[in-house]
Amino acid sequence: MAGHSKWANIQHRKGRQDAARSKLFSKFSKEITVAAKMGDPDPDKNPRLRLAIKEAKGQSMPKDNIDRAIKKATGGDGEAYEEIRYEGYGPNGVAVIVEAMTDNRNRTASNIRSTFSKNGGNMGETGSVGFMFERKGEIIYPASVGDSEAVLEAAIEAGAEDVESSEDGHVIWCADTDLNDVSTALEEQLGESESTKLVWKPQNTTELDLDGMQSLMKLIDALEDDDDVQRVTTNFEASDEVMAQL
């Protein structure tokens, strides 16, 4: 019975992972379709589309899915999505930014407000926490591409602003408007990145203990489960010990 139980747990976990992956691909498809619809369907002529495709590939999204999302935009049958940003506070006063794409603003606002309140948070007005973050380009490379000095030199040459290197890898920061140029220049020197995207970088953080992290993760999971939500950003900070327990 123990073996059967373990197998059932593994199957359940795999089912959840597959569902999460499917949801993630759906969000990428939406971003790619919108980017292709707003600009040129050729990624070489459309920086936003190129970055969307790069992020999707970084998460192993199949090429067929990417091509289908672009075709949806050029075929004229893509839904008319509106991009909206929501801001608020999670448990323990953690700042939260929610980026959404929706074809029904009222539905999305109502759902997100409800999710905040049901999970110990509070949705605020636009700008209520945005001042705590900076819009930045974030490019991530594995540690295997080189030591910190080599990566720093390549990053400066490419026009980046800052590099954070650790045993886990290198995080390269640049101005949001420079992300396409910097990432292209870095690719020539370091190869394909693990991740290239626009992010909200916290200017200050809120330290959380294990209970605080568990409460916050409940809110983040519930928000990310919403089909209209593209990504969720917070300014939490937690020790390695807390993250390991989590």
Find residue 233's DSSP bridge partners: 97
pLDDT (tens digit per residue) in 157-203: 999 999 999 998 999 999 999 998 999 999 999 998 988 888 999 99
DSSP 8-state code for residue 167: T
Phi, psi of 76 (to 5 degrees): 80, 5
Distance of CA 211 to the CA centre of its chain: 24
Residue-wise pLDDT tens digits, 217-227: 999 999 999 99
- Alpha-carbon distance values, 19 to 12, 26, 51, 140, 194 (Å): 11, 11, 24, 25, 22
The pLDDT tens digits of the residues spanning 116-130 come to 999 999 999 989 999
Structure pTM?
A: 0.80
Name the DSSP letter for residue 62.
-
Sorted by where each starts, the structural domains of the chain and their CATH numbers stand as 2-74 (1.10.10.200), 82-131+204-245 (3.30.70.980), 132-202 (3.30.70.980)
User: Which uninterrupted H or E stretch holds 118?
Assistant: helix 105-118
Find out whether 29 and 38 touch, Cβ atoms under 8 Å. no
Query: pLDDT by residue (tens digit) across 9-67?
Result: 434 444 556 667 788 888 899 989 988 888 888 888 888 888 899 888 888 899 999 99
Q: Is 69 left (phi over 0), alpha (psi -120 to 50) or beta?
A: alpha
The tens digit of pLDDT for each residue in 153-167 reads 999 999 999 999 999
